[in-house]
Amino acid sequence: MPVDAKARSGPGPSVPVEAARFRLVGRSTLPEEIAGRLLALIRARELRPGDKLPPERTLASMMEVSRPILREALRALALMKVVDIRQGRGTYVTALEPTQLVSHLELAFSTDTVALARLLEARRVVEVGNVRLAAGRIAEDQLASLESILARLGRAVDLPGTFSELDIAFHDTICVAAGNFLLGQFMAIINTLGRISRDRTGAVREVREATLMDHAGILAALRARDQEAAARAMQEHLDHVERALEDASDPTGAEAGPSGSNASGGPEPSGGPEP
């Protein structure tokens, strides 16, 4: 039910609570504080995914702020993917999917090499843990899926875009096999933020070839259900990712592969793997 139609029921008659719910503590004209109040309502589950906010005029009155200031706060929340402003239809709380909420952080990762390094640290924690769990839990049909993906990766080495999609599918299949939904959420966030590193390494054919070999080693360890070997194989793979990212970030060698020559191959535009 939309928020602007809700009323809270208690022992007595149902009493509308919208104004009390939205009202700021202390009068404020700062968009940040208005946005903060709406975020607090979401955290307290007073506002839920899909809820419609009251009309702008009504909400401004409830919060005792001007409409231009409210509009600025709502625009900021829209940029954060917290609300969806639909022209002529109102403002709604989004689905609040983790990948959606962090998508606006890509700009920071495109300009901050330290942030990219921290992203790789997160990959090491999540993906090495994932593959260790997967080695003990993976089902036969999941092994078959990985084998199929690996075969298709081999045929897509000269197709960076296709290779990238298959590379993500390989890692996602391992994540599903690990059987931990929280790690799955973390992995989805990492994949979203990892688009920048894929852009930086994807043009290099040697990186794709190394990725293919790394994935074969990971699959062999999973097939043997050897948790330690699987963890080592993933760690080595991420070591290769780190070196490729360092090379791609070097302005004197960003276009060069490991041999020093331009190694972009294939007719597709770059957009290859975050291996």
Domain at 24, CATH number: 1.10.10.10
**What percent of the chain is helix, strand and coil (3-state, nearest 5)?**
65, 5, 30
Cα of first residue to Cα of last residue in the chain, in angstroms, is 44
Is 138 found in the same domain as 8?
no
Final residue belonging to a domain, choices 96, 128, 158: 96
> What pLDDT is stored for residue 8 in this prediction?
36
Is 109 found in the same domain as 216?
yes
Domains contained in the chain, number = 2
pLDDT digits (tens, 9 = 90+) for 181-233: 888 888 888 877 777 677 677 678 899 999 999 999 999 999 999 999 999 99
Six-digit token string for 170 = 């390989």
pTM above 0.95, yes or no: no
Is 87 found in the same domain as 215?
no
Final residue belonging to a domain, choices 45, 72, 96: 96
- Residue 266 counted as domain residue: no
- Residue 59 counted as domain residue: yes
pLDDT digits (tens, 9 = 90+) for 45-67: 888 899 999 999 999 888 888 89
Is 46 found in the same domain as 15?
yes
269 DSSP 8-state letter: P
> What pLDDT is stored for residue 76 in this prediction?
85
Beta-strand pair 83-86/90-93: antiparallel
Nearest to 173 by CA among 152, 197, 203: 152
Confidence tier at 242 by pLDDT (50, 70, 90): confident
CB atoms within 10 A of CB 79: 10
* 20 contact partners, CB below 8 Å, separation of at least 6: none
Residues in the chain, overall count: 275
- Residue 73 counted as domain residue: yes
Least confident of 144-158, 162-176, 243-257: 243-257
pLDDT digits (tens, 9 = 90+) for 12-43: 333 334 555 666 545 556 888 888 888 888 88
* Domain encompassing residue 88: 3-96
The CA distances from residue 100 to 54, 82, 246, in Å, are: 23, 9, 28
- Residue 257 counted as domain residue: no
Is 71 found in the same domain as 186?
no
Is 135 found in the same domain as 37?
no
Nearest to 268 by CA among 152, 159, 157, 156: 159
> What pLDDT is stored for residue 188 in this prediction?
83
Question: 242-251 b/e with 16+ CB inside 10 Å = b?
Answer: bebbebbeee
pLDDT digits (tens, 9 = 90+) for 70-120: 999 998 888 778 889 998 899 999 887 776 666 656 655 655 667 777 888
Residue 96, phi-psi category: left (phi > 0), alpha (psi -120 to 50), beta (remainder): left
Final residue belonging to a domain, choices 96, 121, 148: 96
- Residue 258 counted as domain residue: no
* CATH code of residue 152: 1.20.120.530
Is 119 found in the same domain as 66?
no
Contact 34, 75 (CB under 8 A): no
> What pLDDT is stored for residue 135 in this prediction?
97
